[in-house]
Chains A and B, each alone.
Chain A
């Protein structure tokens, strides 16, 4: 089974702190994603990475940066946390080519989420 793990389930930080959220997947997936989830807004894509050291902005990248130095690990960084970044953060991964279905229509596998509170 694919496993995506996130470094913390709950995190409380103060305004202005630098925050690191880590995500690790064990299925050798090429793609990794960071989303934030807020009530009534669903999941919004912050950043995604399709290869080591490669990244692309999602829909709401402002105030965030990412790092992917190894294939299995994708980090989300809040350079200076603010209260409006209080949210649930979800990491996901997917592969480029699904050998089972012989297609590129691939599901994303999610971690359990990190609930971040910025005071």
Chain B
């Protein structure tokens, strides 16, 4: 079953701007992960945040997790054309992940 829901569904920004997308989920989780998918390709893991963490950084990515609100956000700073992709949150429980429908980000030059 689809656990996470991303918001917005689509986002268009200018190169150099920041992109923020949100993920809400319904049940308790062990961890939350963000993945990127370039057009028509497989998914690539970006970052994982555990349920006992509140914020995590990786390069230009910043992820927050609020377990009381059952929500997470992904911030991409100083966006580049290469960041154009779909971004998915996935909530982890045991071996399995439940994915949302994704946010499509378009970075305009």
Contact = CB atoms under 8 A, between A and B. Distances in A.
Contacts of A90: 42-43
B88 interface: yes
Nearest to A111: B42
A110 B44 contact: yes
B42 A4 contact: yes
A42 B99 CA distance: 6
Nearest to B41: A112
B2 A107 contact: no
Interface stretch (A14-22, A43-51, A65-73): A43-51
Contact of B45 (A59, A88, A107): A107
A51 to B, nearest CB: 11
Nearest to A109: B45
Contact of A105 (B41, B42, B50, B98): B50
Interface stretch (B13-21, B63-71, B75-83, B89-97): B89-97
B33 interface: yes
Interface string A37-81: 000111111001010000000110000000000000000000000
B107 interface: no
Interface in B2-41: 2, 30-31, 33, 35, 40-41
B85 interface: no
A110 B43 contact: yes
7 contacts: A103-B50, A105-B31, A108-B90, A109-B45, A110-B35, A111-B42, A113-B41
Q: Top 10 closest A-B pairs, CB basis?
A: A110-B42, A107-B45, A43-B99, A42-B101, A105-B31, A110-B43, A42-B99, A112-B42, A31-B95, A113-B42
